[in-house]
Amino acid sequence: MKKMIYWSVLIYVLYCAGIALYLFWFSDASIPTEWRGTSADPSSFLTSGEQHLSERYSDLKNFLYFASIPYDWFVYLLILLLGISNMLQKWAQRATKAFWMQTALYVFWLSLIITAAALPLELASYHFSRAYGISTQSMSSWLRDEVTDFLISTLLLFFVITVLYGLIRRFEKRWWFFAWLISIPLTIFLMFIQPVVIDPLYNKFYPLKNHALEAEILSLAQQAHIPADHVFEVNMSEKTNALNAYVTGIGSHARIVLWDTTVERLKQEEVLFIMAHEMGHYVMKHIYWGIAGSIVLAFFGLWMVSRLMSWALAKWRKHLRIKAVGELASLPLLLLIMSLLQFSVTPLTNMVSRYEEHAADKYAVELTEDADAGISTFQKLAKAGLSEVYPPYLVKIFRYTHPTIFERIVFLEQQKSENGHK
């Protein structure tokens, strides 16, 4: 056990050192020579000071991301190797004989331990966002969101684990298949209720205040044959200076949402371009394709989890202090394996997402016929969020669900020259 902990610490330290060297010293953020001096060149829309801040902030943010994921794995491993998971299970079993109550007690304390362990990195991320002027959120508001996250995630985890471990105990070999079947309606249900139940716990949503702008957006929606009655605005200025808009939910609960920072700081034609982009997602049914993709990944993921858990117990049962997969004490192992698998497919899911976002950009420029509005929008998005215009390749494949700012502007410039868009 000591050797496993020692080697885990050593590997993690060496990994963080390697990531730091890559991000802070060896990565190159300079754009290709042929695009220097164009609208895709950050020096054309950012001052030298803003470029420096963007690079430093992006490096810190990216380092925290790459450091936090294996840190979570290390926490799960320590909880197993130090016998904490086994101790929590025994305590829950002594407290009550009802399995669902045992699960509730175990999940609550395990979630509390994991949240406390992750708090230093979460605080560091919040501090850097405040220091670089991205976040405007007060500490009390940030803590309130953290508590809300904890309560929602713990409640969902309790529900999922109660069902999942009930299946594991009843269907030792095929539990993963029945868990997958149950996950399908659950995934759809969560997507359906998120806009009206979960999102309002964090922010206030209301119909767009600018009625003239809303009329223009609804007119654009009509051109795209989208049955829309309202555009929603959310008061994100209380928490951030960044700009954003998105589509969420499915069916009658689907919403197009604008951050109030976007409404206040972009020109009308720029907002319309963003809305056309979001309408592209709706028209091309990207939300439904995303749900279908999640269901397919869940099938293979749960199958892999079942195989890897059995393999890990056969090899390290004594060290992990787990007797059987159906024990609650095996939950950190399940979370560890799921996190590893999710991280391993991140480049693939991000690549699919970037393809969809590029398709939405193409739809937006075709609908509005205003490439210049898109170019100025992406420049302002980079400026407001201190986004890295030309990120390192490793950062792009693991972090970017959208094409880079550089790629998006280059595409619009090409559209202008090829199709004559203004």
* Cβ proximity of 235 and 204 under 8 Å: yes
Q: What are phi and psi of 242, to 5 degrees?
A: -70, 165
Q: What are phi and psi of 246, to 5 degrees?
A: -160, 165
How many whole angstroms separate alpha carbon 388 and alpha carbon 402? Answer: 12
Helices then strands, counting H and E runs in the chain, come out as 14, 4
Residue labelled with tokens 């331990």: 113
How many whole angstroms separate alpha carbon 85 and alpha carbon 381? Answer: 44
Q: What are phi and psi of 420, to 5 degrees?
A: 75, 20
Residues in the chain: 422
Catalytic residue, candidates 55, 233, 270, 278: 278
Q: Is position 278 annotated as part of the catalytic site?
A: yes
Q: From the centroid of its chain, how far is CA 308? A: 25
* Cβ proximity of 358 and 411 under 8 Å: yes
CA distances from 284 to 250, 280, 281, 294, 328 (A): 13, 6, 5, 17, 42
How many whole angstroms separate alpha carbon 19 and alpha carbon 160? Answer: 34
How many whole angstroms separate alpha carbon 408 and alpha carbon 396? Answer: 14
Residue labelled with tokens 């684990």: 161
Q: Name the strand (E) or helix (H) holding 257.
A: strand 255-259
Q: Name the strand (E) or helix (H) holding 205.
A: strand 205-207
Structure token pair of residue 104? 């509730």
Q: Which residues of 191-202 are buried (b: 16+ CB within 10 A; e: fewer)?
A: bbebbeeebeeb
How many whole angstroms separate alpha carbon 160 and alpha carbon 162? Answer: 6
How many of the other CB atoms lie within 10 Å of CB of 242? 19
What would the DSSP string read from start to end of 211-251?
HHHHHHHHHHHHHTT------EEE-GGGTBS---EEEE--G
Annotated catalytic sites, by residue? 278
